[in-house]
Chains A and B, each alone.
Chain A
Amino acid sequence: MANMKIKAKVKGDTLKCKVQMKHDMITYNIAKKKGVDANFITYVTGKIGDRIVFEASTSQFLSKNPIIKFEAPAEGVKKGDELTMYWKDLSGKEVTESKKVKGLK
């Protein structure tokens, strides 16, 4: 669990999720100054089973260690289901982590 912090909770009929991704998000400008390669998260998805609940393409202008909050309908989410977050960065690194959805009986 080193690359992400995931929180997923069902409240009423809404699935509320909050994800923090550990990433430096080095923009092209910073990369030039520091003499390193630019590297940032470019693609993020959130899934419950096979169902996509979140999907985004991102640029270098998300903050360092970016936080994303999103909501989706809770319909069909069962106790014991896991939210699986996946991200990919410019260097090609891919990370997938899961966390159980809370708030279900």
Chain B
Amino acid sequence: MERRKFLGLGLAAVALVPASVSAFDFRKDKPDTWKAHKVDEAIKALYGDIKPEESGLSINVPKIASNGGAIPVGMKSDVQLKSLALFQDANPEAAVAAFTIPADVKTVNYMTKIKMAKSGEITLVGEGTDGKFYKVSKKLDVALGGCEG
């Protein structure tokens, strides 16, 4: 009987695992986002027709990027988010990355390095757990284009 009980526990544990995995591949589920050439179109393809508030998020980029091949972009939020997407308008396509925020992350603090072919505007759009959308944009100058985008 001991063995039977043990096996039962094992099954229960296996059944619980999928619930905690939130795997969501934006490239598979929202393929149009990555083909859009304009930021607005990309946002529409990803989130639909939304009216984001201009608050809650912040972008941290250098005013002038000396090397367009690797521009550090810091992304922060004051609000709890479900997902976060990064766009820019200097490259042929607008979308750079889309993040799925784990449910236990209260405020986002991410950084990544991106490529930009020329000076432009970086836009960050977040979907809050409260159902609202948040947005922030920031312009920056690129001194040396990042290996033709």
Question: Known pairs A68-B110, A71-B105. 4 more at Cβ < 8 A?
Answer: A27-B147, A67-B113, A71-B109, A75-B104
Which residues of the partner chain A approach B112 to less than 8 Å between Cβ atoms? Answer: 62, 66-69
Which residues of the partner chain A approach B52 to less than 8 Å between Cβ atoms? Answer: none
Q: Which secondary structure dominates where chain A touches chain B?
A: strand
Q: Are B113 and A66 in contact, with the CB atoms below 8 A?
A: yes
Q: Which of A3-11, A43-51, A91-99 contacts B (4 or more CB under 8 A)?
A: A43-51
Q: Are B148 and A42 in contact, with the CB atoms below 8 A?
A: no
Across chains A and B, the number of contacting residue pairs, with CB separation under 8 Å, is 110
Which single member of B27, B91, B104 contacts A43 (CB below 8 Å)?
B27
Q: Are B105 and A57 in contact, with the CB atoms below 8 A?
A: no
Q: Which residue of B lies closest to A88 (CB)?
A: B25
Q: Can you offer 16 A-B residue contacts whose CB atoms are under 8 A? A: A33-B148, A50-B21, A51-B20, A54-B102, A56-B97, A60-B115, A61-B88, A62-B113, A62-B115, A63-B69, A66-B113, A67-B111, A68-B110, A68-B112, A70-B109, A71-B110
Interface size class of B (residues with CB under 8 A): 35 or more
CB distance from B84 to the nearest CB of A (A): 9
**Count of chain A residues near B, Cβ 8 A:** 33
Q: Are B26 and A72 in contact, with the CB atoms below 8 A?
A: no
Q: Are B26 and A57 in contact, with the CB atoms below 8 A?
A: yes
Give the docked Cα–Cα distance between A88 and B80 (Å): 27
Which single member of B23, B88, B92 contacts A55 (CB below 8 Å)?
B23
CB distance from B121 to the nearest CB of A (A): 14
CB distance from A70 to the nearest CB of B (A): 5
Interface status of B79 (Cβ within 8 A of chain A) = no
Indicate whether A61 sits within 8 Å of B96 (C-beta atoms), given known contacts A27-B149, A29-B148.
yes
CB distance from A103 to the nearest CB of B (A): 17
Q: Are A56 and B98 in contact, with the CB atoms below 8 A?
A: yes
Residues 104-126 of chain B, each 1 if its beta carbon lies under 8 Å from chain A, else 0: 11101111111110000000000
Which single member of A50, A55, A66 contacts B24 (CB below 8 Å)?
A55
Q: Are B99 and A56 in contact, with the CB atoms below 8 A?
A: yes
Which single member of B72, B96, B149 contacts A29 (CB below 8 Å)?
B149
Give the docked Cα–Cα distance between A29 and B99 (Å): 25
Q: Are A63 and B146 in contact, with the CB atoms below 8 A?
A: yes
Q: Are B102 and A69 in contact, with the CB atoms below 8 A?
A: no
